[in-house]
Structure 1
Amino acid sequence: MTLIKQINRGQRKSGEFLPSLAALAAENQLSVSTVRRALDLLNDIGVVESINGKGTQVLAFEQIAAHCDFSQPIYRRRLTDFIESLHVCACSCRAVVEQTLLAMTGAQRNQLLELLERLYAQQRYGLGIYGVIGILAEEAHSPAIRTLYAQLFQQFLWGYPLRIPKRNESTEAQMQARALTEALQHFDSSLFAQLLENSLIQDFKTAQSQLQKIGVSAPSDFL
């Protein structure tokens, strides 16, 4: 759903109220009932909050974990899907990213750069790498890669509450963000791919530790 991508890419900002169900349904060419289920899901994982008499509001990072119910069995299973998808992506992304960047047009690279700069301007440093994966799901030359990465990208949504503010605001995260941007500006596809892989590995290990604390199974090693 476009709404999920917009939130993940920072196009729907924290504190913003979403359009009505009817407007979202028309925008995404979906039924109102489908949009309602999607918003129920986003409410459950703490990405948005529906407020009586006001509408549905996009929550700030520091509010997400507090509004997510980690005890729900179905969500705990989804967290397992998330960590396994992150594991697969971290293991496979380097060659895929490099090949995709080399095949991109200048306009496509600029689109990716604008996405990163928009997220970093909002101090959402930890989301940059996931924005890149979302672009890969759309722009990869191989149909098989586009299909695979589109599925992986969808699973990343379940890990949204785990992306705590400390990860996004840390000096290390800011340095990683700056390095990614500079590599893209200099069209250094190899370095960009390596940096992205390193960031995904770090996020995998962080998520693995967090899930173990709440008793959710995760891959024990990075392959």
Structure 2
Amino acid sequence: MTVDSGMELHQAIYQFYRTQIQFGLYQYGEKLPSLEETCKRFHTSLDTVNPAYHRLRQEGYIAISKKSGAKVAIRYGPEQVRRHIQTFYAERRESLTDLSRCIWPLLGQAQCLALKTGPLKAADLEQFVDAGSHSAILAVWRVLDHKYNDLGNELLMRLIRYLYLYFYGSFWGVAKDERLHAITVRQLKAAADLCREERWDELPDVLRVIQDEFYRSLCLFYRENIPPEPACRQVAFSWDAYKKSSQLRYSLAMELLTEIGRGVYPVGSYLPSAERLSAEKGVSVSTVRRAVSLLNSVGAVKSSRPLGARVLPPSQSADHCDFTQPDLRRRLLDVAESLQIFALSGKDVSELTLSSLDEASLLSWKQYLMDLKRRGLSQRVIYASLFLISRDAPSQTLSTIYSELLQLLFWGNPIEALMGEPENDPLFFVSSLDRMTASLERRETAVFSYTLEFLLIHELRRTVEVLLGLGIREAGNILIPDTNNEWKIMDTRR
């Protein structure tokens, strides 16, 4: 959001602390958290944190000594701090407002599931008794971050920490909104009571108050502190699902997989040469070769000399896969983790999107789904629905995140043949697609959205079962919500 897509974590930590220094949250002579404390806060290693601190020191923001640690070495006056804050938020007015509106549909159910899996306890609440302090809100973040971790989803954790680094962490300090702080702590205490009493149905309403209050606080902050600047350049929201921007082979392989899926490279055809792809995609020949090697490992293509890489039909993918290859196993975990995020957000995001569409757009959705049935592709209803949501979501944040996650599902091609028919019913997807098409015609957005959620949860369960069968034990850490919408957890651990 505040940087280009693909920023690595050490760069994100650097910008986080630089912004906090520029905003006056860390002032001249004050100590930054130690390297070890930062590692714990962002669940990363010294190899990641060291470059961030080194860059801060190089650029004069901090001084580092063995005796005193890292201290702020630059002095900003009140007017400079005010300009830093004003410039930062003026350039992000659209993206931050959009982001704050869509956090609940995107993460609300995940938060509820996380708190049911690891309920808030009295010991957790003791860390943020003082509702007015910035350190208290940091404690809130630490507690929730720990709870989210119980969902067993590394991809989700990267997304949540991204949102904290680029927005929440700094905004808590500059907002100076005691009402926001007080309501946040009050609602979390109420959530802890609900967890203790197992009143799970009431949990979403209690937690949503925090997000609604956050949006109110952001709007108030803009009205009182950031005058509109019509010509101000806007920094758009961006997010990269991969850990490192240097891992170009994954992005390129995903782009080629997407193009194969769309028929740019039909089954039986050959991919262009490495030299031609290098020129077309703007990457090195070695990156192209590594990406094509990855496509070979997932069974999307089969390379042979001197012809090159031939595109294989999806039905043959599993036969040409090396499921022992670490890269492939990690990418298959990406599929399961993406499906969990979709399963936990799909109903709310779908309803939000459908409620924003006009009649012509609803008709286009209906025709898109009906075309799937005519072509005998009813089993693609999940992916088609997610594509339509990513295309038409009334939020740039949701569109960006859903588009990024949707691409990761293409890695699942090799395991489709291993999954078999769901529920031992060959008409499972046909009947679901018919229900969703009829709901669009009657504008029953809730029916469409609950059906999509049901399909996503079942797809997640089937995917986890296949991955466990392949010996990918990490898949067993991914928690699956039950399809009865009562926040009951299906334990997939083996």
Taking structure 2 as the reference length, what is the TM-score of the superposition?
Answer: 0.39
Deviation at 1:146, TM superposition (A): 1.5
2:429 pairs with 1:173: yes
Alignment of 1:1-223 (within 5 A): 3-8=256-261, 11=263, 15-17=267-269, 20-21=272-273, 30-31=282-283, 33=285, 38-50=291-303, 56-164=309-417, 166-167=420-421, 170-216=426-472, 217-218=474-475, 219-222=478-481
Deviation at 1:18, TM superposition (A): 5.5
Deviation at 1:143, TM superposition (A): 1.8
Deviation at 1:130, TM superposition (A): 1.3
Deviation at 1:88, TM superposition (A): 1.3
Q: Which has the higher helix share?
A: 1
Aligned partners of 1:25 and 1:32 also within 8 Å: yes
Deviation at 1:91, TM superposition (A): 0.8
Tell me the SS of whatever aligns to 1:203: helix
Q: C-alpha distance in 2, partners of 1:2/1:154?
A: 8
- When residues 20 and 73 of structure 1 are mapped into structure 2, their CA distance, relative to the original with a 3 A threshold, is closer
Q: C-alpha distance in 1, partners of 2:372/2:304?
A: 26
Aligned partners of 2:340 and 2:480 also within 8 Å: no
Q: C-alpha distance in 2, partners of 1:210/1:156?
A: 15
Tell me the SS of whatever aligns to 1:123: coil
Question: Which has the bigger relative contact order, CA under 8 A and spacing at least 6?
Answer: 1
Amino acid in the other structure paired with 1:103: S
Pairwise CA RMSD: 3.2
Aligned partners of 1:86 and 1:200 also within 8 Å: yes
Q: C-alpha distance in 2, partners of 1:207/1:56?
A: 28
Taking structure 1 as the reference length, what is the TM-score of the superposition?
Answer: 0.79
Tell me the SS of whatever aligns to 1:163: helix
Deviation at 1:202, TM superposition (A): 0.6
Deviation at 1:180, TM superposition (A): 2.3
- When residues 78 and 3 of structure 1 are mapped into structure 2, their CA distance, relative to the original with a 3 A threshold, is closer
Aligned partners of 2:271 and 2:310 also within 8 Å: no
Q: C-alpha distance in 2, partners of 1:156/1:200?
A: 12
Tell me the SS of whatever aligns to 1:170: coil
Q: Structure 2, unaligned stretches of length 5 or more?
A: 1-253, 482-488, 490-494
Q: C-alpha distance in 2, partners of 1:181/1:23?
A: 42
Aligned partners of 1:137 and 1:149 also within 8 Å: yes
Aligned partners of 1:167 and 1:173 also within 8 Å: no
User: What do the CA deviations read for 1:18-46 (whole angstroms, capped 9, x no partner)?
Assistant: 663588778x7655846665544333212
Tell me the SS of whatever aligns to 1:109: helix
Q: C-alpha distance in 2, partners of 1:117/1:213?
A: 34
Q: Structure 1, unaligned stretches of length 5 or more?
A: none
Amino acid in the other structure paired with 1:167: E
Aligned partners of 2:314 and 2:413 also within 8 Å: no
Of stretches 141-150 and 172-181 in structure 1, the one that deviates more from structure 2 is 172-181
- When residues 80 and 2 of structure 1 are mapped into structure 2, their CA distance, relative to the original with a 3 A threshold, is closer
Aligned partners of 1:180 and 1:195 also within 8 Å: yes
User: What do the CA deviations read for 1:152-192 (whole angstroms, capped 9, x no partner)?
Assistant: 11221222222227338922222222222332343322211
Tell me the SS of whatever aligns to 2:420: helix
Of stretches 154-163 and 38-47 in structure 1, the one that deviates more from structure 2 is 38-47
Q: C-alpha distance in 2, partners of 1:14/1:166?
A: 24
Tell me the SS of whatever aligns to 1:49: strand
Q: C-alpha distance in 2, partners of 1:13/1:185?
A: 35
Aligned partners of 1:45 and 1:67 also within 8 Å: yes
Identical counterparts, % of pairs = 29
Of stretches 115-124 and 79-88 in structure 1, the one that deviates more from structure 2 is 115-124
Of stretches 101-110 and 31-40 in structure 1, the one that deviates more from structure 2 is 31-40
